[in-house]
Amino acid sequence: MEQIWALSRNFGRRPINMDGEATIQELKNKVKKFCEDRDWNKYHNAKDLAIGIITESSELLEYFRFKSEKEIEEIFNSPEKKEKISEEVVDILYFLLRLAQKYNIDLATSLDKKMDKNKKKYPINKAKGSNKKYTEL
Ligand SMILES: [Mg+2]
């Protein structure tokens, strides 16, 4: 019911939450088309896409540099500032999706495999509530 109310208030604008609608493949296809329409394949090798992930990550970090926890919380409470943060997050996602798309990395499968490894590295009985690295558990 709350979702219907939210949708009706948002009528005529962009959907409020599409994460539950879009597949990773659709996102990869969207990024691929954007790049191919601009003939950017020649620039998108693994090294430069990885550099893109890091440079965009640095742009995200810049918003938090020298900020207290309270100031960071205020950033996320400001729709304008949150929009800027969202743009940097999506810049990172764009390069990540492009890298995965160009080099046939199945993100869902890879995430599952990595999470399985992490479950072994960080068993709940040892890691719950702890911020220690797995080598120190
Ligand atoms: Mg950026």
Average pLDDT of span 81-110? 97
* Closest to 40 in 3D by CA, of 100, 55, 48, 107: 48
> What tens digit of pLDDT does each residue of 41-65 get?
999 999 999 999 999 999 999 999 9
pTM of the entire predicted model: 0.84
Res. 18: pLDDT tops 90: no
pLDDT confidence of residue 11: 60
Domains of the chain: 21-105 (1.10.287.1080), 107-137 (no CATH)
Q: How far is the CA of 62 from the centre of ligand 1 (A)?
A: 10
Q: How far is the CA of 88 from the centre of ligand 1 (A)?
A: 5
Q: How far is the CA of 70 from the centre of ligand 1 (A)?
A: 24
Q: How far is the CA of 13 from the centre of ligand 1 (A)?
A: 24
Average pLDDT of span 117-121? 96
Res. 85: pLDDT tops 90: yes
Band (pLDDT 50/70/90 cuts) for residue 1 is very low
Res. 3: pLDDT tops 80: no
Q: How far is the CA of 66 from the centre of ligand 1 (A)?
A: 19
> How far apart are the C-alpha atoms of 93 and 109, rounded to whole Å?
17
Q: How far is the CA of 81 from the centre of ligand 1 (A)?
A: 14
pLDDT confidence of residue 21: 87
Q: How far is the CA of 80 from the centre of ligand 1 (A)?
A: 15
> How far apart are the C-alpha atoms of 38 and 10, rounded to whole Å?
32
